[in-house]
Amino acid sequence: MKTYGFDASLPAKPVKNIGVVLFPSFDVVDVFGTLEPLNLLSLERQLNLYMIAATLDPVSTAPRAMNAFNSSFGEVIVPSHTFDSVIRDQSLDLDMLLVPGGIGTRAPDLNDTIQFVRDVFPRLQYLLAPCTGAGIAARAGVLDGRRATTNKRSWEETVAYGTKTYWVARARWARDGCVFTASGVTAAIDAVFAWIGHVWGEAVAADLALGIEYERHTDPSWDPFGEHYGRSDVPPLT
Amino acid sequence: MKTYGFDASLPAKPVKNIGVVLFPSFDVVDVFGTLEPLNLLSLERQLNLYMIAATLDPVSTAPRAMNAFNSSFGEVIVPSHTFDSVIRDQSLDLDMLLVPGGIGTRAPDLNDTIQFVRDVFPRLQYLLAPCTGAGIAARAGVLDGRRATTNKRSWEETVAYGTKTYWVARARWARDGCVFTASGVTAAIDAVFAWIGHVWGEAVAADLALGIEYERHTDPSWDPFGEHYGRSDVPPLT
C-alpha cells in the first residue's frame, strides 16, 4: 500500500476480498456494524469475506478480565482463516482489511495481531481501523505519517500508541489516502459508508443506508463526543 | 407474560438473563447492535447471555439463496443453547428474549424458530423483536392484540403475518407493554436504548450511548423511512 499523505482525492480501487481481524474481546459493532452494509452488498456484486484470527478456534467477545460482577456474557465467532495462512498465501489479494477495536485491544498478548497487520498492510488497497482498532494500526506502524482519529473516551491511551501520527480530535472518521480510522464504536458505521461511497459511489452508499434505515453522519467533522470529552488534536511528536 | 394492551407506563422488571434467537441468515445489526450496549452493561452488573438456536451447530449469516453473484460472504456464530434445552429447563428464567430479523426470516423452514418463540413467550419478562423479527413474533402469535412496527422496506410482506396486530407505519420503535418492536435494522439500536432506559433508567442508557459514541433517536415517532416508503398504519383485520 502506498502512503498518500493528506491527499483524500484518490481514485477508487476495485474491491472484492475483505478481511476482518478477530481477537478476543473485540467490539461487535466495530465488526458487525461495518459488515452489515457489506453483507447486503454481497448480494449485488461478488464479495468474499475472510474472518482472520490467530487460530481457527472460535473467538469470544467476553472480557477475560474486568468481570467483577460474574457475568456470563459474550458472543462467539468462528474464524475462516488464520493470520499465518493469509501471510503465507501471497496469491490472496485482500482489498480491504478491517481492524476493530474493543476491550481486547488492552490485552497484553496482542503481538500476533499487531504483527499480522504490519505484515499484510503492503498487500492491501484499503485499511479500516475504527475505534481503538486505530491503536492496533498505530502499534503496527501503519499510521506513521498519517492523519487519524480514534475513540474519544479511550483517547489518551490510544493516541499514545501513535507518536508519529497526527490525531484529529474532532472527527467522526478520518481518511488519509487508503487508510480510514473512526471515532468510537458506532462511528464505524459512518466510516464504512464513507468508504463504500468512495469505492462504489454515493448512490450505492445511499441505497444501502436506506436499506438498513440508517441516518448517516456524512460530515466527517461531526463529533459531539470529541467535544464532550474536551479532546484536542495531538500532532506527531517526531 | 401478561398482555398489557397499550399501556406504556409499566414499572420495570428486573433483568439478568438475556436470550437471543439465532437462525440462518439472521441480521447482524439486529443481534450485535442490540447486544453492544448490553456487552458493556455486563461489566457493571451481572448479566447472562444465552445464544439459542435449533442445534448447537454454528449459524451463518450467509444467505442460502439470493447469491446470484457467487459471493462467499458471511459471519458464523456459535450458539450456547438449543431451543429444546431452553424449553425443557423450566428453571431458566429468560428475562428478555431478542428475536432478530434478516433475510432468513423469509426461509420456508422457520417453524422451529417460530414454535420456540411461541412456547417460551409466557416465561419472558420482555420481548424485543426488531426489523423483520417482528414477522417471526407475529407468526408465533405473540403480537396478537398488540401495537407493533417493523422494517419499512419489507413492510407489506411482514405486516401480512400479523392480522391481529395494529401496525404503526411511522415509528422508529413501538412499545406495547413488555413487547418492543422496531423498524428496520439500525432501529434496533434505538429500541434497545429505549428498553435499557425503561429497565435500568435513563442515566444508564445515556452513559452507555456516550460510551459507544451513539447519537440516539429518542423520539419513537421519528421515522423518515416510513415516510420515504409511503407506509400507512395497518389496523387489525379482526
| Overall number of domains in chain A | 1
pLDDT value at residue B104: 95
Q: Give CA–CA dist A54/B66, Å, rounded.
A: 32
Residue range A196-200: mean pLDDT, rounded = 96
Is A90 part of the contact surface with chain B (CB cutoff 8 Å)? no
- Per the domain annotation, does A153 fall within a domain? yes
Q: Which residue of A has its CA nearest to B42?
A: A71
| pLDDT digits (tens), chain B, 238 positions | 434 344 556 778 899 999 999 999 999 999 999 999 999 999 999 999 999 999 999 999 998 776 778 899 999 999 999 999 999 999 999 999 999 999 999 988 899 999 999 999 999 999 999 999 999 999 999 999 999 999 999 999 999 999 999 999 999 999 999 999 999 999 999 999 999 999 999 999 999 999 999 999 999 999 999 999 999 999 999 7
- Per the domain annotation, does A161 fall within a domain? yes
Is B213 part of the contact surface with chain A (CB cutoff 8 Å)? yes
User: What CATH number has the domain bearing residue B139?
Assistant: 3.40.50.880
- Per the domain annotation, does B9 fall within a domain? no
Q: Which of B36, B68, B76 sits opposite A28 (nearest CB)?
A: B36
- Per the domain annotation, does B235 fall within a domain? no
CB A77 to CB B80 under 8 A?
no
- Per the domain annotation, does B1 fall within a domain? no
Residue range A120-139: mean pLDDT, rounded = 97
Q: Which residues are A228's β-sheet partners?
A: none
pLDDT value at residue B68: 78
A-facing residues of B in 111-170 (CB < 8 A) are 151-153
Q: Which residues are within 8 A (CB) of B9 and not within 5 positions of it... i.e. 6 or more apart?
A: none
Extended beta strands in A62-195, E state: 76-77, 81-82, 96-98, 126-130, 147-148, 166-167, 173-176, 179-182
Q: Give CA–CA dist A64/B10, Å, rounded.
A: 36
CB B63 to CB A77 under 8 A?
no
Q: Which of B49, B73, B76 sits opposite A42 (nearest CB)?
A: B73
- Contact indicator for A100, A131 with CB cutoff of 8 Å: yes
- Per the domain annotation, does B8 fall within a domain? no
The dihedrals phi and psi of B40, each to the nearest 5 degrees, come to -70, -40
CB A212 to CB B29 under 8 A?
yes
- Contact indicator for A178, A125 with CB cutoff of 8 Å: yes
- Per the domain annotation, does A237 fall within a domain? no
Is B65 part of the contact surface with chain A (CB cutoff 8 Å)? no
Q: Is the pLDDT of residue A236 over 60?
A: yes
Q: What is the pLDDT of residues B139-193, one digit of tens each?
A: 999 999 999 999 999 999 999 999 999 999 999 999 999 999 999 999 999 999 9
Nearest to B134 by CA among B126, B143, B144, B146: B143
Grid cell locating A15: 474491491
Q: Which domain holds residue A198?
A: 17-228
Is B58 part of the contact surface with chain A (CB cutoff 8 Å)? yes
Q: What is the pLDDT of residues B118-132, one digit of tens each?
A: 999 999 999 999 999
Size of interface A-B (CB pairs under 8 A): 159
pLDDT value at residue B8: 54
- Per the domain annotation, does A4 fall within a domain? no
Q: Which residue of A has its CA nearest to B66?
A: A43
At B77, which helix (H) or strand (E)? Answer: strand B76-77
